[in-house]
Structure 1
Amino acid sequence: MYRLTTHSAIAEIPAEHWNRLADPDTPFLHHAFLDAMERHGCVGESLGWLPHHLALRDGDDRILAVAPAYLKFNSYGEFVFDWSWADAYRRHGRAYYPKLIVASPYTPATGPRILTGATPQRRDIARVLIQGAVQVAEKLGVSSLHWLFTADDETDWLAEQGSMRRLGCQFHWRNPGYGSFDDFLGAFTAAKRKQIKRERRRVAENGIRIRRVRGDAVTESEWAIFHRLYRDTFDKRGGLPTLTLPFFQDIGERMGRNLLLVLAYHDRNIVAAAFNLIGERSLYGRHWGCFQDFHSLHFDACYYQGLEYCIEQGLTRFEPGAQGEHKVSRGFLPTATWSAHWIANADFRQAIARFLDTETRDMQDYLAEMNTHSPYRADALPDRIQAVS
C-alpha cells in the first residue's frame, strides 16, 4: 500500500504537497525555508548537510507524509549534542559519520518532524514512515538515525519502534491570556518585576529606539545590515555563519509574514537586531547580533520585544532559542524537549542506552532545580507551566 521515496533536493517535492502536510505553527519546516537553504548554500556537501528528504506515498502515488532528512558528516548545527558518541566510535575504530538525521538545519525548535497534515490516520501513517526511515538507514549503511526536537506523540511512536528517547531542556514561555506586557509583569514577584522594568529603562536611557518589522517589510539594506550583525556574532564566538544573505532575502520575499526582525537604533543607526520566526501560535527566537554593547539591550531585543509581540498578537508560546538559564528570571520556564535515536550497532546501542538512562535522571533533576527559580508569584503561575513533564 505504501512506498517511501528519498529526495536529494526538496524542490523534487512540490511545495503545495509539502506545505499541505506541514504544521502551520512550524515555519522552519516550510518548503520555502528549507528550499532557500538548499538554493543559497546553507546546506550541502561542504557543510556536512546532504538533503535526503523522505516522502511516503500511497498506491495512487499520493504523498501522505514527508520528513526533512539529511545525511550528516558532522554534528554541527543540530543542538542535540552527540560529540561524545562520535568520539566513542572513533576510539573503537568505527565510523560514526555519516549518520541520518530528521531535523530543520540549525534550528533547535520543537514540533512535528513527521509531516502528515491534520489526518485521523496520523499515527498509522507516521509509524509506516518511521519503519521506512529505518530501512533507508540500513540500506545506506549509516551508523544511526536521529530525530531531533520531536513532538510528544512522535517521540512515543519512535520509542515504540525501537528508538531511544533523549531528554533535553530549553526555556519556553506560555501565554495564559495576558492583556498587556504590564499584565504579564503583574504575575512576577516584586523583585523580578523591578529587575525587568529597570532593564528596559536602561535601554531607553541609552538613547536606544527599537522597531519591530515583519519580514515582508524589511528593506534590502536592512537585510544586509542584519546579516552583518549575524556574521559578527559567529565571528566573536568562533562559530560558522552558515546562513547567507541571499537566504534571508529569499525567505523575506517568499515567507515574509512568518518573519519578525527587531531592530535597535542609536543615533539613527542600526546597532543591534534579533531575528524571529512566526508560527500560527508560536514565536521562535533565532539569531541576534550587535555592533555596540548597551546595557540590557540583548534582553529587550531578544526577549521583551518578542513577549510583547506575542501578547499583542495573541500567540500562545515563545521559544527564544536553545539553552540560557538567564531566561528563567525573565519568564521563560524550563521545558522538556525530546529527541529519538536509532543505533545500528547492537553493542553501541546498549552502551548509549546506559548513558541515556543516567543522563535522563540528571536532566530530570536539572529541570526540577530550574523550576525552583521561577520569577512568578505562586498564586499567579499559569497552570500550563507549573509542571515540567
Structure 2
Amino acid sequence: MIDFNVPPFTGKELDYIKEAIDARKISGDGKFTRKCSRWMEERFQVKHTLLTTSCTHALEMAAFLAGIKPGDEVIMPAYTFVSTADAFVLQGAKLVFVDVRPETMNMDERLIEEAITERTKAIVPVHYAGVACAMDEIMAIAKRHHLIVIEDAAQGVDAYYKGTALGTIGDFGCYSFHETKNYSMGEGGAILFQKDEYREKAEILREKGTNRSKFFRGQIDKYTWVNYGSSYLPSDMNAAYLYAQLEIADEITRDRMRSYTYYQEGLKELADQGYISQPWVPEYAVHNAHMYYIKVENLEVRSRLIAYLHDNSIHSVFHYIPLHTAPAGIRFGRFFGEDRYTTVESERLLRLPMYYGLEEKDLEHVVKTIKSFFIGGGIIAGQAAIGNGNKNE
C-alpha cells in the first residue's frame, strides 16, 4: 500500500532528542525550542515566534490576544479544519462563513466586506494547500474596518505571498507541525506576530498565566501568577525532532515539489481531456507543495475513485466536510450569502499521497492508476467529463 502520508524523518531527530535528554532539559523553552523559534524568525522575517503544542493552541492564543469576546463575529471560510472555528467559539464568538474561490479553495476576498457588521472583530484567512489568500485585499478591508487579521497558515509554513512569508502578514499567524505537515514535531505549532506589545501577554498566556519567561531571562528574581493562562508550551524533545527538519527545509521542499510536479505533468492529459481539474497557483503565490489534489466530477465519482485506488494499493483521502453543514457549525455560526462553491467543490476534491521521500515508482503507479480509472475502463464511459477549473470566476 502506498501511504497517503509518512511523517518526515531526516536521521538527526534521535540524536537531537538524546541531546535534549542529556542536557536534562526536556520540558519547554529549552535549547531546541529556542533554535526552532530563532530559525523561523530569521527565515520568515518575523519579530516574535512562540512554539506551541499545536496549531489549534496557536489559534486559541491568537483569539485571546486579539481580545475576542462573547458576541463578537469572526469571518472565515467554512472549508477548513475545525480548529480554525473552535479557537473563536471558545471565546464566545459567532462564526460568519463566506464562500471560497473554486480555483484555490481559499476564502473569496470579494465577499468579506459585505459580511461585516458592527459586531465583526476579526478576519481569519486560511491558506489552503499552502497557496496564499489574496492578502493585499484582505488587509485593506481589515484596515478600513479596524479589524484584526489572524492567518491560519497551518498548511502554509515556508510558503509566500508576493515574497512575504505566510503567517507574517496579518496581526497573528498560526503554523502547524503536525505529523501530516511538511515539517513535523508529531503534535505542535507556532504563533507568530510582529508587534512587541503582544510579546509579554503571549508569554504569560503560554506559561500558565505566569511571568516565568521573564524569570528565565533574568528580568525578575521570582515568577508568579499574573493573568489568565494555560499550558501551550511543547516539550523540548518535540522541538528537537522538528529542528532536524528545519535544518534541511530546502531539501524537503525540493523533494515535495518534485512529487507535485510529477503529478501535475503526469495528470495533465486527463485535465486537458476534461476528466479532472488540477490545482492552480496564482502568480502572487509561491506554494510549498504541502499537498496535491485533483477534482473529479462529483461525490459519486470521487467515492468510486477512492475505492479504485485502494484496490490498487493506494491510500487517498478527501478533505474537509464544510463546517457550516456540521451540527456545531449550525449552532455556532452562519453562512453569509450563497454557498455557490464551498460544498460542491469540497465533494469533488481528492488528495493524493504526498510526503518527503515519496518514490518515483510510487508516483508513477498513482498516475497510471488514475489514468486507468478514467481512460482504461475503471469508470463508466461518459460519466467523468467535467469542466477544467474556474480560473475566470
TM-score by length of 1: 0.25
Structure with greater proportional strand content: 1
TM-score by length of 2: 0.25
Higher relative contact order (CA 8 A, sep 6+): 2
